[in-house]
Structures are given as structure tokens and as C-alpha cells.
Amino acid sequence: MNTRKKLTIGMVAIFAFASFAFTALVNKDVKIKESTINWKGYKVTGEHYGTIDLKEGMLSFEGDKLVGGNVVIDMASIKVTDMEGEYADKLAGHLKADDFFGTEKFPTATLKFTKVTGHDAHYHITADLTVKGITAPVSFDLNVSENSATTKLKIDRTKYGIKYGSASFFDNLKDKAILDEFDVDVAIKF
């Protein structure tokens, strides 16, 4: 084989390796109108649930592998769906008030991925969640397939200064106690 052919084959091999090794980062915007966040909060005597909207978000990929992401949540969009009318409006108003999420002063919450591990559409995410201006880490599993991602996670509201009705901070609440953790079920499209 002559030197020119060897050089050409060598250059093709280097280019192929470089293309594979340096896969471009692609950011995919979250489709807000097609994505959902459902929440469920618990008290000693029962539970309440509802929805909250995403404001914006994106997931970052290198090839097919998830490597990062962030979302902004519209805290003022909190809705209660297990009740109707005046009772639902009253509870939603209380959740938006300062003793809960304080949405007038803190209209959004953010979730920024800090570590992504896993592969084959099953990832473990560590992220910084900021609620009411307070940032604390959260971890959760995220399943990604085609152009969607889903997760279920528990959030301890007291880590974000939301202590209203918490038996961890107040005595003698009895059946008025509200559990510290609430559930969030997320389905996003991108």
C-alpha cells in the first residue's frame, strides 16, 4: 500500500473517531402545552391534589444520551382539582399565600440538573430545586423515550421554609397536621 493511501485511511479513521468522540450538545425545548405536572399533598385526615404549569424548560443531549436539563415552574398556576368552586379556590389561594409558596414574591420555582447518571433511557438525576428563593438538592429517576420524559418524586416542603401545619415544627396540631412531603408526577414532551 502506498504512503498516500495509508495517509488517507489514517485521516479518515481520525476524523471518524473525532466525530464519534465529540458528539455535539443538543438542547431540546420542553413543549409547555403538552407537558403536565400533577401534585398531591397529604394531611392527617386526607389528601388534596391538583396541577401546576411549566413556564419553560429544556433537556440537553449528547447523541441519544441525556446529559443535563432545567425547568422553570409557574408557581402562580397552582390549581386544586380534587374539589370545585369556592373550596378549591380557597385552598389554591392558601397555597399561593406567603405561608406556603408565596407566589406574589416568588412566582417561579426552578429545577437545574447538576448530575445525570444512567443510560438506555433510564437516568438518575441530582438537581438543585429552588422554591421561595431557597435552593436544596433533590434526586429522582427519569425515564426518557422518544420525545418524552417522566418522573415521580417526593419533595420535602420544609427544606424550602414552608413550615405551615408541619408537626415537625409545631406541637399539638393533632388532625390539623399537614405532612412535610408532597408528591409530584411529571410528564414532559420535547
The number of residues in the chain equals: 190
Q: Average pLDDT of the chain?
A: 91
> Does the residue 9 lie in any domain?
no
DSSP three-state, residue 175: helix
Model pLDDT for residues 49-84, shown as the tens digit of each residue: 999 999 999 999 999 999 999 999 999 999 999 999
> Does the residue 74 lie in any domain?
yes
Lowest mean pLDDT among 6-10, 35-39, 92-96, 131-135: 6-10
Handedness of CA 132, 137, 139, 143 (dihedral sign): positive
> CATH number for the domain including 88?
2.40.128.110
> Does the residue 10 lie in any domain?
no
Distance CA 85, CA 105 (A): 26
Range of the domain at 39: 23-189
> Does the residue 130 lie in any domain?
yes
DSSP three-state, residue 41: strand
| Amino acid 119: pLDDT | 85
Residue 84 and residue 50 in contact, taking contact as beta carbons nearer than 8 Å: no
> Does the residue 185 lie in any domain?
yes
> Does the residue 28 lie in any domain?
yes
Place of cell 388534596: 48
Q: Which residues contact 76 (CB under 8 A, 6 or more apart)?
A: 96, 103, 107
Give the total number of structural domains in the chain: 1
> Does the residue 11 lie in any domain?
no
> Does the residue 30 lie in any domain?
yes
